[in-house]
Structure 1
């Protein structure tokens, strides 16, 4: 039988961890645990996650209707319920605002891959949703393109949501992600980020499969993908406003390493190096900028 009181205690413990890590200021964040086909435990709205008691946790059904509890349920419960509807294996969902990962959410900067072994094994490619006002079904639906291929999602201009077979595991993915984002920002401040070689990344993907962690890159559907270039969720970037800015793309790591005629790899990552002694081709925007600068320099010389 399900020990509901113990699950409520577990929710409160994770709430304290979230608050103590600085992942949830004031009343930020929400946590749920699914206890039956139609029952979900949920944290209350307008309460700090660092000071919850089991008596504060309410119960809702799979439509979002509150069925028990003295305090009103979280206003973002529909996001959690949508994840449960899409993933029968998920028993807990954690949403919060970890600052380093949320910085990537605000910048809409894709999370670089092939940098840290633990991240490759436990997380893989981390998607960023399109932005939607929190609380409603439209907000909940932003996770739909991604929820079947990952256990952690960055919510554009908002925070993160992670999920798993219990509340501690659901929280782990957020903690790993935020620690990684912090490391990336620190490495960037030192000057550069180094990527794994292809053979070392494939060793990690082999280990991941051996240890029982799923990754789309280990499936037939993605056998030809660039394993380090965020290929799993790249098709969502344009609609979500995601693009590389702070971090360079990794070297091409795919069967054949094909490069298109416009100088970019066929997956959209970094272009191949120009032949020795030749100048790299300029894009239309770069050419326009060079032309503008040249005209202004010549005008200044004539004045």
Structure 2
């Protein structure tokens, strides 16, 4: 078996895994793998990921033009190519709609950090990219503000995209993220989410560095900073329409507290006084009747 045929088979194997785990219903999802500087293998459109054959996989260039393959390439391939252009280390991209992570995408709820050790080490902060109609250049470019700082992201009202040096590694990040989102949802049903301490959070970041995983919070500018959920991406929340609050925030998080204050509606003192006066006057009229 040639290398290209092996890569095609790996794409089909991961497609089968996506389908069986319910991450890609019907014809949902797409997978790519870069085989050279200007050639990328791409899953076809309108084919169930669990039933793909190596012969179904298309070959495209880095601009999205189809070079070979009997089936038409996925319409969302441009998103994958933007990631590969921005991250030369990335060889594979996986996009799908895992139910629990996609629930966060639909609610546009920030995914909290400092909860599970494995998530801090393998994922870190998870951004939520703003919504755009899938398939076009605008949609593809929604990931650009975040692609250098994370290996997985949530696409608002859509799904997830993850990427890495192999098809399996790209898929891993999605599986970890959806499992984490499921745990968060279950924990919320049981009671509440308890956060790790700030010290434990920094210890996990040190562990992440020792394992060789990059994290923006390893940069000198974050030394001594608050590391609560999405510190790296908080500035983008407003544009993406991100909400926060379903899972609370750790008591030690100064940044979270300040962010909540900045989002609070300013108090209209004059209107408040008028409402109080009207209420008092109404009570007095009731007594005089």
TM-score between both structures, scaled by the size of structure 1: 0.87
Distance 1:65 1:205, change over 3 A: same
Mapped to 1, the partners of 2:24 and 2:189 lie a distance apart of 25
- For 2:78 and 2:228, how far apart are their aligned partners in 1? 33
Measured at CA, do residues 134 and 296 of structure 1 come closer, stay the same or move farther in structure 2, by a change above 3 Å?
A: farther
Aligned partner of residue 161 in structure 1, secondary structure: strand
Name which of 232, 250, 267 aligns with 1:284.
267
Q: Confirm or deny that 1:209 pairs with 2:215.
A: no
User: Given the superposition, is the C-alpha separation of residues 291 and 51 from structure 1 closer, same or farther in structure 2, using an over 3 Å criterion?
Assistant: farther
**Hey, what does 1:62 align to over in structure 2?**
62
Instruction: Check the 8 A contact 1:249/1:269 in 2, yes or no.
Output: no
Provide the C-alpha distance between the structure 1 equivalents of 2:195 and 2:242, rounded to a whole number of angstroms: 21
- Which residue matches 1:5? 5
Q: Deviations over 1:47-93 (max 9, x none)?
A: 10010000000100001000010000000000000000000000000
Contact 2:60–2:68 (CA<8 Å) still a contact in 1?
Answer: yes
Higher relative contact order (CA 8 A, sep 6+): 2
Cα 1:183/1:142, change in 2 over 3 Å: same
Residues in 1 aligned to 2:248 and 2:280: alpha-carbon distance in whole angstroms: 30
| Deviation for aligned residue 1:229 | 3.4
Q: How far has the Cα of 1:154 moved from its partner?
A: 0.4
Change in Cα spacing, 1:205 to 1:251, as seen in structure 2 (3 Å) is same
Instruction: Trace 1:148-297 onto structure 2 (pairs within 5 A).
Output: 148-253=148-253, 265-266=257-258, 268=259, 284=267
Q: Distance in 2 between matches of 1:202 and 1:113?
A: 12
- Return the alpha-carbon distance in structure 1 between the equivalents of residues 143 and 40 of structure 2: 19
The equivalences for 1:36-51 within 5 A come to: 36-51=36-51
SS at 2:128's partner residue? coil
Conserved? CA contact 2:111–2:229, under 8 Å: no
Classify the secondary structure of the residue corresponding to 2:142: helix
Q: How far apart, CA to CA, are the structure 2 residues paired with 1:285 and 1:227?
A: 33
Structure 1: distance between partners of 2:107 and 2:96: 17
Would the aligned equivalents of 2:131 and 2:240 in 1 still touch at CA under 8 Å?
Answer: yes
Corresponding position of 1:275: none
User: Helix, strand or coil: the match of 2:105?
Assistant: helix
Alpha-carbon offset, residue 165 of structure 1: 0.4
Q: Number of residues paired by the alignment?
A: 285
1:144 aligns with 144
Q: 1:282: Cα distance to partner? A: 9.5
Checking the alignment, whether the CA contact within 8 Å between 1:250 and 1:269 is kept in structure 2 is no
Q: Is the 8 A contact 1:229 1:269 kept in 2?
A: no
Bigger helix fraction: 2
1:229–1:252: 8 Å Cα contact kept in structure 2? no
Once residues 181 and 291 of structure 1 are traced to their aligned partners in structure 2, the CA distance between those partners, rounded to angstroms, is 45
Aligned equivalents of 2:234, 2:165: Cα separation in 1: 27
User: 1:252, 1:269 within 8 Å by CA — same for their partners in 2?
Assistant: no
Displacement after TM superposition at 1:289 (Å): 8.8
Runs of 4+ off more than 6 Å: 285-298
